[in-house]
Structure formats: C-alpha cells, structure tokens
Amino acid sequence: MSFTLTTPSGFWNPLFWVIFLALFGLIAYLIYSRGNPSYKKESDQVRPYLSGNIEPAKEKVQVKAGDIYWGFIEALKGYYKILEAIHTGDIRDYILWYLGVGAIVTFILIGGV
C-alpha cells in the first residue's frame, strides 16, 4: 500500500524517506566503523594541541573582547579616536544626536535638498 502525496511540483512518499534514512544510516555506520580503533576517549588524545605549550588551567583562561577584536580596532584606530572624543556617556547627548540625525534624514527624504 503506497501513501503518495502528489503535488504540482512532484510527489512525497514517506516509505521512500524511510528507505533513504535506512540507506544513509547504513552508510554512516560503515564510515564510523572504519574509524581509528586506537583512539582512547579518556587519554591525552582529547587534549588540544597548543604548539607544544602546556594547557593552562581552565580558571586562568580569559579572553577579553579587546583581545578578540584587536586587529579590527587597530585597523580603525583613527575612526575610534574620533568616536572616543565625542563619547561623553551622557544620555542627553545621545538623544540630541539621534534627533539631529533623524531630522537630517527626514529633511532629505521629504525632498528639502
């Protein structure tokens, strides 16, 4: 008994999907079974390779955002100097910038230029 759903773009049959799932599962198992039998999960084989350096303790590892984005910030150092100069930390200044830029964009969109 076939339960085929026919649509204008093709058909769908759950039996075909089960067959394909079993076939791909068999292929995956064959690939998995040919793995390296000398691999031991509870040994030094699971430790990361750090170019011969000793792995630091987990509580001593800390990656700061400045370290992650160092190259990006270094490349745009001139731009960031300008931003740091106008950055005051006062919310009223940010609202003023928001309203000013919004007024300019509105003026341009209405066609005042």
pLDDT in tens, 75-104: 999 998 998 888 888 999 999 999 999 999
To the question of pTM greater than 0.75 for the whole model, the response is: no
At residue 1, does pLDDT exceed 70?
Answer: no
Tell me which of 51 and 75 has the higher pLDDT: 75
Structure tokens that stand for 15 in this block: 């039996």
pLDDT for residue 106: 93
Give the residue-averaged pLDDT of 46-52: 81
**In this structure, are residues 55 and 48 in contact, taking their beta carbons and an 8 Å threshold?**
yes
Structure tokens that stand for 84 in this block: 């740091």
Nearest-angstrom CA–CA distance, 21 and 16:
8
- Nearest Cα to 3, choosing from 22, 21, 11, 14? 14
Please name the residue ranges forming H helices in 34-76: 65-68, 70-75
What's the mean per-residue pLDDT of the chain? 85
Hey, how many other C-beta atoms are within 10 angstroms of the C-beta on 69?
Answer: 11
Give the residue-averaged pLDDT of 59-79: 83
